[in-house]
């Protein structure tokens, strides 16, 4: 009798434990459903307030112009204002850090450039890692144009390269360590045997002035900076564009690849990155909105007239581009010893 009671008691305890676990599981499930429902609703309702694009550079440059074009088009697609917030400083680091530290709610994004990738490889004390930002979408790019003074003895890219192999080489203006013209100089040094000496200036406008004044032999500057000076009577002589195809605004200007120098390939690009944690669905919506903006004929034609090529695309295509840039620029940084304290 005692043994039977003991067995019955054990069975009742097991049954009660089973019911308790079942009840606990149901409670957890209900709690998860209650907390995830608002989150899902928030994602599906995005955006329900203005979206901010942090531009880590001053207004007027290629990145700023691309950001404003993306914001204009995305505003129409998303039905909420997309506003620009210029935060220049420390070579783009100030704005980049603000983007990284922003709430991952899909209402703050960073307008990114090559420096987002290269700075962490160049600067010993970079305050962030590039994996703290997530690629969302490419906006577009301003091809770089290799130029000399209109009075230079170099009338072609071949002459420029051959002359830069002689003697002590030639001085090549840059906008600082890791800038696009710095990479162009190192590409020509590494791949084609030139002896270009990078001369850093504070900005692209200063380096352009140095070329015009004959203080340096050449530079490679963004199309929106160079184009006004390569018109008839201008102070620049354009030798080639460093992108994969000819520019819409200068269709007669050949590419470096066409001229036999395919390893000199780079552009001043702008994209959108998000802080880690932004829901995938929101990033997909943002990418689609920017892609639609870059395909808008009015916006696209306006950008092309300024020497800027609209790109757009998907998250996947931008991620592929960023990885390729990281590999290409990383190899040049390591081989050339490009460093900044």
What is this structure's pTM?
A: 0.84
Last-in-domain residue among 192, 225, 241: 241
Query: 177 and 107 in one domain?
Result: no
> Based on the domain organization, do 204 and 287 belong to the same domain?
no
- Residue 16 domain flag: no
Residue-wise pLDDT for 204-246, tens only, equals 889 999 999 999 999 999 999 899 999 888 999 999 999 999 9
The model's confidence at residue 20, banded by pLDDT at 50, 70 and 90, is: low
The answer to whether position 211 is within a domain reads yes
Mean pLDDT across the chain, nearest whole number? 89
> How sure is the predictor about 40, in pLDDT bands with cuts at 50, 70 and 90?
low
**Is 66 inside any structural domain?**
yes
120 and 180 inside one domain: no
Q: Decide: 117 and 87 in contact? Cβ < 8 Å.
A: no
Judgement on whether residues 138 and 283 belong to the same structural domain of the protein: yes
For residues 137 and 274, state if they share a domain.
yes
List residues bridging with 200 in a β-sheet: 174
Q: Are 161 and 196 in contact (CB under 8 A)?
A: no
Task: Reply yes or no: is the peptide bond before residue 47 cis, omega within 30 of 0.
Answer: yes
Based on the fold, state whether residues 82 and 123 are members of the same structural domain.
Answer: yes
In this structure, is residue 131 part of a structural domain? yes
| DSSP code, position 254 | P
78 and 125 share one domain: yes
CA dist 219 and 241 (Å) reads: 12
- Name 247's bridge partners: 250
pLDDT at 130: 84
Any domain includes 198: yes
Instruction: Note the pLDDT of residue 271.
Output: 98
Nearest one of 211, 181, 82 to 137, comparing CA atoms:
82
Helices 280-294, 62-78: crossing angle, 10 deg rounding: 110
Mean pLDDT over 7-27 rounds to: 48
Residue 64 lies in a domain: yes
Q: Are residues 125 and 179 in the same domain?
A: no
Angle separating helix axes 297-305 and 62-78, nearest 10 degrees:
170
Q: Give the separation between CA 125 and CA 215, rounded to whole angstroms.
A: 32
Same domain, 151 and 138: no
Cα torsion through 324, 330, 331, 335, rounded to 10: 170
Backbone angles phi, psi at 325, to 5 degrees: -60, -40
The predicted pLDDT at position 60 comes to: 85
Is residue 122 located within the same domain as residue 57? yes
223 and 173 belong to one structural domain: yes
Q: What CA–CA distance (Å, rounded) separates 96 from 273?
A: 10
322 in any annotated domain: yes
Domain count, the chain: 2
CATH number at residue 134: 3.40.190.150
Tell me the residue range of the domain where 115 lies: 51-142+268-336
Residue 210: CATH number of its domain: 3.40.190.10
Q: Are residues 170 and 229 in the same domain?
A: yes
Check residue 130 and report its DSSP letter: G
Across the range 17-28, mean pLDDT stands at: 48
- Report how far residue 331's alpha carbon sits from residue 341's, in angstroms, rounded to the nearest whole number: 19
Q: Is residue 39 in a domain? A: no
pLDDT of residue 15: 47
Rounded to 5 degrees, what are φ and ψ at 119? -60, -40
């Amino acid at each position: 009798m005692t043994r039977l009671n003991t067995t019955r008691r054990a069975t009742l305890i097991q049954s009660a434990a089973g019911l308790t676990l079942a009840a606990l599981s149901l409670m957890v499930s209900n709690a998860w459903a209650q907390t995830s429902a608002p989150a899902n609703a928030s994602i599906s309702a995005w955006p329900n307030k203005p979206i901010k694009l942090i531009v880590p550079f001053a207004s007027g440059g290629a990145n700023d112009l691309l950001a404003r074009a993306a914001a204009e088009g995305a505003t129409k697609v998303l039905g909420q204002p997309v506003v620009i917030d210029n935060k220049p400083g420390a070579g783009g680091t100030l704005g980049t850090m603000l983007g990284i530290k922003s709430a991952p709610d899909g209402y703050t994004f960073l307008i990114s450039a090559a420096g987002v990738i290269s700075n962490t490889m160049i600067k010993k004390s970079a305050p962030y890692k590039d994996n703290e930002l997530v690629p969302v979408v490419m906006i577009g790019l301003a091809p770089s144009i290799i130029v000399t003074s209109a009075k230079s003895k170099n009338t072609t890219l071949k002459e420029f390269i051959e002359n830069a192999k002689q003697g002590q080489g030639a001085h090549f203006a840059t906008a600082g360590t890791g800038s696009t013209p710095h990479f162009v100089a190192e590409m020509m040094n590494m791949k084609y045997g030139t002896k270009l000496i990078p001369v850093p200036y504070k900005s692209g406008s200063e380096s352009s002035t140095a070329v015009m004044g004959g203080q340096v032999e050449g530079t490679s500057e963004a199309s929106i900076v160079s184009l006004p000076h390569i018109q008839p009577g201008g102070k620049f002589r354009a030798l080639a564009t460093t992108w994969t195809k000819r520019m819409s605004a200068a269709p007669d200007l050949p590419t470096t690849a066409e001229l036999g120098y395919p390893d000199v390939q780079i552009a001043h690009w702008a994209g959108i990155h998000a802080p880690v944690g932004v829901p995938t669905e929101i990033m997909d919506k943002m990418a689609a909105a920017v892609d639609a903006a870059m395909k808008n004929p009015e916006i696209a034609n306006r950008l092309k007239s300024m020497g800027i090529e609209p790109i757009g695309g998907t998250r996947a295509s931008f991620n592929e581009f960023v990885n390729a840039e990281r590999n290409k620029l990383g190899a040049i940084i390591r081989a050339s010893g490009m460093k900044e304290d």
